[in-house]
């Protein structure tokens, strides 16, 4: 009898262990499935918030992106943080955040002034990144960091890309590097999930436009003028042709910037077929040159809303303006005739100036 009882106990124990193992296995499978689901959801969220994902979704829905630019630290970082939240809340699709730098060769007086004020108030790269770390995770719009090459070199390319990615940035734009030097930057960007946006200009030949378009990520930044950033009275008529030239060599989104300061400018660029409208100097001026931060935020918001409204209104509305816009631009077209020059992005002369400036004066943002 005892052997039989012992055998029964053993079988009962084995059955119990087997049941426990099955329960544990089921639990493990459920946990693994939940983790997979979470990973998929997180990946989907990241894709939806990426620059390229945002631009692709807008293009699919035949909408044009509103891309505002502001300079970090002007009038102060607390106001910059509030401004980013406001721009996100009113429906900016992508937001560019400029890192103040002592020698901004691509920028005109307005953004130069903003950068100078920010640096004088002690804004550093580290402080900008910490501010981004606070605000970016809660934003719907992907954030593109706009910075010159010198601060990146000073910090170390890998460290810079890793840090801004961890802070919540989704893209990087470096205006003073030629196409030939972008592969190394892109390699580090891709390592940390950043997209490198490249620029093309009115002096860029179509063959080189094609190379830039192939290398650019997120969108192609089409500079509308031969010169620096600033507020313009009218958009140059040749921009329409430049948009068409880019569309002939790429299916990536084209966003037009430099000189956009009024709703009619935004509507005109939309009518010309661009997938994105970038406004910087006018917003920077509204935010940084007001009497108080509160007045600056209100002025910036008012302008941003008017620009977005012009971009987001039904296509038929802007279509009605197309002929008027073309005629207005045609009236001043003779002022903008020029010979195209071979070169990348800013062209050889600007790149030489950039190189000379970097070699002569390795100043960085307040020690940042």
pLDDT at site 233: 56
CA 278: distance to chain centroid? 10
Count of other CB atoms within 10 angstroms of residue 294: 11
Check residue 67 and give its pLDDT.
98
Q: pLDDT-derived band of residue 125, with 50, 70 and 90 as boundaries?
A: very high
Residue 123 has pLDDT above 90, yes or no: yes
Instruction: List, in sequence order, every beta strand (DSSP E) within the chain.
Output: 65-71, 95-98, 143-146, 171-173, 195-200, 220-223, 254-257, 276-279
- pTM for the full predicted model: 0.74
pLDDT of residue 156: 96
pLDDT for 51 equals 97
pLDDT digits (tens, 9 = 90+) for 71-81: 999 999 999 99
Q: Is pLDDT at 103 greater than 90 in this prediction?
A: no
pLDDT at 13: 61
Question: For residues 306 and 68, what is the distance between their CA atoms, to the nearest angstrom?
Answer: 12
- Residue 136's alpha-carbon distances to 7, 17, 47, 71, in angstroms, are 65, 50, 15, 15
Most confident residue range from 99-113, 188-202, 217-231, 304-318: 188-202
Look at residues 130, 221, 205, 136 and name the one whose alpha carbon lies nearest to residue 170. 136
**Is 25 within 8 Å of 31 (Cβ atoms)?**
no
d(CA 246, CA 252): 9
Active-site residues, by number, are 96, 107
């Amino acid at each position: 009898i005892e052997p039989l009882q012992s055998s029964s106990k053993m079988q009962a124990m084995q059955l119990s262990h087997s049941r426990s193992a099955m329960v544990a296995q089921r639990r493990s499978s459920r946990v693994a499935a939940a983790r997979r689901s979470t990973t998929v959801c997180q990946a989907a969220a990241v894709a939806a918030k990426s620059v390229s994902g945002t631009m692709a979704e807008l293009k699919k829905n035949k909408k044009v992106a509103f891309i505002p630019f502001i300079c970090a630290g002007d009038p102060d970082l607390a106001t910059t943080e509030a401004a980013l939240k406001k721009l996100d809340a009113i429906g900016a699709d992508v937001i560019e955040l400029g890192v103040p730098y002592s020698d901004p060769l691509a920028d005109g007086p307005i953004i130069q002034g903003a950068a100078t004020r920010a640096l004088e108030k002690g804004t550093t790269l580290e402080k900008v990144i910490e501010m981004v770390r606070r605000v970016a995770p809660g934003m719907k719009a992907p954030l593109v960091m706009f910075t010159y090459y010198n601060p990146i070199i000073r910090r170390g390319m890998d460290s810079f890309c890793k840090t801004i990615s961890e802070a919540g940035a989704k893209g990087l734009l470096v205006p003073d590097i030629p196409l030939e030097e972008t592969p190394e930057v892109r390699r580090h960007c891709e390592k940390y999930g950043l997209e490198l946006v490249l620029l093309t200009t009115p002096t860029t030949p179509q063959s080189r436009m094609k190379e830039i378009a192939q290398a650019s990520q997120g969108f192609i930044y089409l500079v509308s003028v031969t010169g620096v950033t600033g507020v313009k009275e009218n958009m140059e008529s040749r921009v329409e042709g430049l948009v068409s030239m880019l569309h002939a060599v790429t299916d990536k989104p084209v966003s037009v910037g430099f000189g956009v300061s009024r709703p009619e400018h935004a509507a005109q660029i939309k009518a010309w077929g661009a997938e994105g409208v970038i406004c910087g100097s006018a917003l920077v001026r509204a935010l940084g040159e007001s009497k108080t931060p509160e007045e600056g935020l209100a002025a910036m918001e008012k302008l941003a809303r008017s620009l977005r409204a012009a971009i987001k209104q039904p296509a038929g509305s802007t279509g009605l303006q197309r002929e008027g816009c073309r005629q207005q631009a045609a009236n001043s077209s003779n002022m903008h005739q020029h010979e195209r020059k071979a070169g990348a992005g800013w062209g050889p002369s600007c790149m030489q100036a950039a190189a000379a400036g970097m070699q002569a004066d390795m100043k960085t943002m307040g020690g940042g």
